[in-house]
Amino acid sequence: MANLSVDYMGMNLKNPIIVGSSGLSKNAGGIQKIQAAGAGAVVLKTLFEVGIAAESDKLEEGFQQGDAHTEAHDLIHDMHYQYSLSAYADLIKQAKADTEIPIIASINCYKPEVWLEFTKMVDKAGADGIEINLSYFKNSVKASAQEVEDEQMEIVKNVISNTKLPVAVKIGPYYSSMANFVQRLSFNGAKAIVLFNRFYKVDLDLEKLDFSAGQRFSSSTEMSSALRWVGLMSGEVKAELIGSTGIKTGEDVVKMILAGAQAVQVCSAFYENGISYMSTLLKGMNDWMDENGFDSIDLLRARLSEKKLKGQKFWGRHQYIKSITGID
Ligand SMILES: Cc1cc2nc3c(=O)[nH]c(=O)nc-3n(C[C@H](O)[C@H](O)[C@H](O)COP(=O)(O)O)c2cc1C
């Protein structure tokens, strides 16, 4: 049996498989199942500021028929906001009381003051870490890449300077200069960077001529982008890198670690196969390590990162140029 334990943001995990933020970790029962399945850690379902606002609007619809009343509106929104914050704090407390694995809270807001309020609530409730879910969809033609990134960096700096907890930042795959952005996150104090979030996919229903949801779960072909960026950034930044999206097998976890990931986050594979699939992932990792003579994760990590490949420039290849890739 190989030693699968890893350090993550100053915590010791018994293995590198973290269950990513999702409905799987939205309540105490789900979190207990995640621990029982053998996860290294869990990220709670994100507390979304926008989600609270939408729920408040629905509640308000239920109360009001006819005239909209501004004071009633404010009251309902305020009560629901306070309720949602305290329900999330209770979830953290309950998870901490029920389980021994690290509990990482996840937050996503749009107003700067709400980021701070959520941060303080998570800190006070006793989570082991915070994950900033930096999903941020700006589709204004007026916002330059620099402005958007600077705005995001301010959020990260503000959260970090207002908590004693270690902070991970989970980002999407769309940045013009990924390497620079990842480096800035690390420089500004992110202890870990999760590469990448997989955002809600949109599609169209041609029968109903209406909007519809796209592919809910990732496929294994989607892993390549995260693998590439972990391979490129490993050793370039102080922050730990967490590989995520499209990880479906124990061998996929091994690949992420070989590229340089400190740990991984998995979500779709558990929705598709049940949380007990954790044991298949762990066995797959173990078997590969045994067969290949590795008895600890630390011996594997970053062996195939760009830095270790000493100038072979493998991870940066992205065009099918026959003389370089052998494929045309
Ligand atoms: C149903 C569902 C709900 C999710 N909810 C969240 C969320 O609340 N916060 C978040 O940061 N990511 C959320 N995610 C994204 C996952 O945490 C993960 O980053 C993504 O699915 C990629 O990993 P995977 O390929 O293993 O699924 C969700 C994913 C799914 C499928």
- Residue 18: exposed, middle, or buried by beta-carbon count in 10 A (0-12, 13-18, 19+)? buried
Residue 116 CA, ligand 1 centroid: distance in Å: 23
Tokens standing for residue 317 = 């290849």
Q: Which residue has the tokens 């979304």?
A: 48
Segments of the chain scoring below 50 in pLDDT = none
Could you report the per-residue pLDDT of 87-124, keeping only the tens digit for each? 999 999 999 999 999 999 999 998 889 999 999 999 99
The residue to mutate among 18, 19, 22, having the most atoms of ligand 1 within 8 angstroms of its beta carbon, is 22
Q: Is residue 1 in a domain?
A: no
Atom of ligand 1 nearest to the CA of 218: 25
Confidence (pLDDT) at 137: 76
Number of domains into which the chain is organized: 1
Confidence (pLDDT) at 64: 62
**For ligand 1, atom 23: residue with the closest CA:** 245
The residue to mutate among 44, 50, 118, 197, having the most atoms of ligand 1 within 8 angstroms of its beta carbon, is 197
**Dist. CA 71–CA 75, nearest whole Å:** 6
Confidence (pLDDT) at 153: 96
Atom of ligand 1 nearest to the CA of 131: 11
Atom of ligand 1 nearest to the CA of 216: 31
User: Where residue 276 sits, what CATH number does that domain have?
Assistant: 3.20.20.70
Residue 20 CA, ligand 1 centroid: distance in Å: 6
Per the CB < 8 A criterion, the answer to whether 199 and 155 are in contact is no
Confidence (pLDDT) at 67: 56
Could you report the per-residue pLDDT of 263-290, keeping only the tens digit for each? 999 999 999 999 999 999 999 999 999 9
**For ligand 1, atom 10: residue with the closest CA:** 21
SS (H, E, C) the chain: CCECCEEECCEEECCCEEECCCHHHCCHHHHHHHHHHCCCEEECCCEEHHHHHHHHHHHHHHHCCCCCCHHHHHHHHHHHHHHHHHHHHHHHHHHHHHCCCCEEEEEECCCHHHHHHHHHHHHHHCCCEEEEECCCCCCCCCCCHHHHHHHHHHHHHHHHHCCCCCEEEEECCCCCCHHHHHHHHHHCCCCEEEECCCCCCEEEECCCCEEEECCCCCCHHHHHHHHHHHHHHCCCCCCEEEEECCCCCHHHHHHHHHHCCCEEEECHHHHHHCCCHHHHHHHHHHHHHHHCCCCEHHHHCCCCCCCCCCCCCCCCCCCCCHHHHCCC
Confidence (pLDDT) at 81: 83
The residue to mutate among 267, 271, 272, 278, having the most atoms of ligand 1 within 8 angstroms of its beta carbon, is 267
Confidence (pLDDT) at 311: 75
Residue 200 CA, ligand 1 centroid: distance in Å: 8
Confidence (pLDDT) at 56: 77
SS (H, E, C) 93-147: HHHHHHCCCCEEEEEECCCHHHHHHHHHHHHHHCCCEEEEECCCCCCCCCCCHHH
Residues with CB under 6 A from ligand 1: 20-23, 45-46, 106, 133, 170, 197-198, 216-218, 244-247, 266-269, 271
Domain of residue 102: give its range. 6-325
